[in-house]
Structure 1
Amino acid sequence: MGDWIKNTIESLGYLGIAALMFVENLFPPIPSELIMPLAGYSANLPGAKLNVIGVFFAGLCGSVLGALVWYYPGKFLGEERLKALADKYGKWITVSSKDITKAKRWFDRQGSKAVLIGRLVPGVRTLISVPAGISNMPLLPFLFYTTLGSAAWVGLLTYSGYVLGSQYELVDKYLAPISKIVLGCLALAFIFWVVKRKRKNRRK
């Protein structure tokens, strides 16, 4: 996959970076943790045709556009229809109805800030647009929080690749376990919240 990403960036430049980040939002197995560090590294090569600012904005545009692709199905199809589609076709993009349910619950608990936080968490960043759409979150606030969160994520990855140079793959290597820890902590926090809420309801 690394060679394919590299060839796309080399042949299409900024357009290739934007396209890769757009597709990354649709197909989670394509990692932004590899795309943007590689793009940042490419901008730091001698005689590079790309510059780091252009790389950042190309990645940001692709990421935000990809988020909209998940937002509108949530808005117009609703939760139950999306779950049915996910169970039927989700294996092609590694998304299930359980993933949608988890994202919806987290959004209901965190509100609008879930979009901002979610865009910073691998494994959640792709799906957080779905509950935002299901909950009819207004488009402008959605775009604001999505752009803000995406900018922080894309900027971090781009700068890491730019600084690390040929060692850009270390970003993916070290972020992978950190991502699992973050997801684990979010799961524990959600379980704690559910238990606390049940106890509170019983007391009432």
Structure 2
Amino acid sequence: MTVVNIAATSSSGGGSWLSALADWLVMLMETIGPAGAAIAVGLESLFPPIPSEAVLPVAGLAASRGSFTLAEAIGWTTFGSLAGAYILYVLGRVLGAERLTRVAEKLPLMKGEDVTKTVAWFERHGSVAVFFGRMVPLFRSLISIPAGVSKMPWWKFGLLTTAGSLIWNSIFVLAGFFLGENWHIVEQYAGVFQNIVIVVVVALVAWFLFVRIRAAVRHRRESTEDAAG
């Protein structure tokens, strides 16, 4: 099947930026084969705004049209996930806990102990966080950085990332494979889950800011009273 025909099929998702992205992904996969799917997923890992719910079903769509096999689609997308995750893992190792602690000390409303506590938590629960984090929007990419900061063994990080990515990728690639030209239906349902995650993250950030600002105001008030007394 030609690039034009598959691109026309993907455009049935509606004329949005998501459809334009799907068109580009299809052409990439048609041009260089399943390696194109790996590149696309690798970019998705590095740039969270690129949604996996668009990249992965399109890989399934291309497989359903005979561009490559279903096994290749799942295998190469999982390889792309692992490659992108390792790049962020190395970034975390380079930054290190000490450097991040110094940066946190200079940021408003942040404390160096925030980094220390995060690293300590990750050292206790890192395996679960990496495995399930690969199946949660936004955290799919970000979870690799604290893994590097906490110096999780590279082989352990690779195994957990591969396992989590394989499950997540298989679900969406299979959905695109069986839905065919209706692949965009996946994005509608996955978008609900992503919105829930975003709301939870925003709520947690808002609570964190509220607690820190309240503590800062209380500390300033107490300092003023002590100076006046």
Compared CA separation, residues 74 and 50, structure 1 to 2 (3 A):
same
Measured in 2, the distance between the counterparts of 1:189 and 1:52 equals 39
2:167 to 139, 149, 152: 152
Q: Name the TM-score, length of structure 2 as normaliser.
A: 0.67
Q: Is 2:156 the partner of 1:138?
A: no
Measured in 1, the distance between the counterparts of 2:188 and 2:56 equals 14
Q: Is 2:48 the partner of 1:33?
A: no
Deviation at 1:169, TM superposition (A): 1.0
Partner of 1:67: 85
Measured in 2, the distance between the counterparts of 1:83 and 1:160 equals 43
Partner of 1:13: 33
CA deviation map 1:91-139 (0-9, x unaligned)? xxxxxxxxxx7xx577467332100010000111001000001011111
CA contact (8 A) 1:23 1:66 kept: yes
Q: How many pairs does the alignment contain?
A: 174
- Structure 1 runs not aligned, ≥5 long: 86-100, 196-204
Compared CA separation, residues 80 and 122, structure 1 to 2 (3 A):
farther
Q: CA RMSD in A?
A: 2.8
Partner of 2:68: 50
SS in 1 for 2:92: helix
Measured in 2, the distance between the counterparts of 1:84 and 1:156 equals 41
* 1:89-128 to 2 correspondences below 5 Å: 104=118, 107=122, 110-128=125-143
- Structure 2 runs not aligned, ≥5 long: 1-20, 104-114, 212-229
Larger Rg: 2
Partner of 2:42: 22
- Residue identity opposite 2:70 in structure 1: V
CA contact (8 A) 2:61 2:176 kept: yes
- Residue identity opposite 1:153 in structure 2: W
Compared CA separation, residues 166 and 80, structure 1 to 2 (3 A):
farther
Q: Larger relative contact order (C-alpha < 8 A, sep ≥ 6)? A: 1
Measured in 1, the distance between the counterparts of 2:87 and 2:131 equals 17
CA contact (8 A) 2:97 2:150 kept: no
CA deviation map 1:12-61 (0-9, x unaligned)? 1111111111111111122221111011012112xx13111111001000
Measured in 2, the distance between the counterparts of 1:80 and 1:167 equals 49
CA contact (8 A) 1:107 1:128 kept: no
CA contact (8 A) 1:117 1:149 kept: yes
Compared CA separation, residues 78 and 151, structure 1 to 2 (3 A):
same
Q: Name the TM-score, length of structure 1 as normaliser.
A: 0.75
Measured in 2, the distance between the counterparts of 1:65 and 1:51 equals 21
Partner of 1:89: none
Partner of 2:96: 78
SS in 2 for 1:136: coil
Measured in 2, the distance between the counterparts of 1:165 and 1:83 equals 48
Partner of 1:166: 181
Partner of 1:88: none
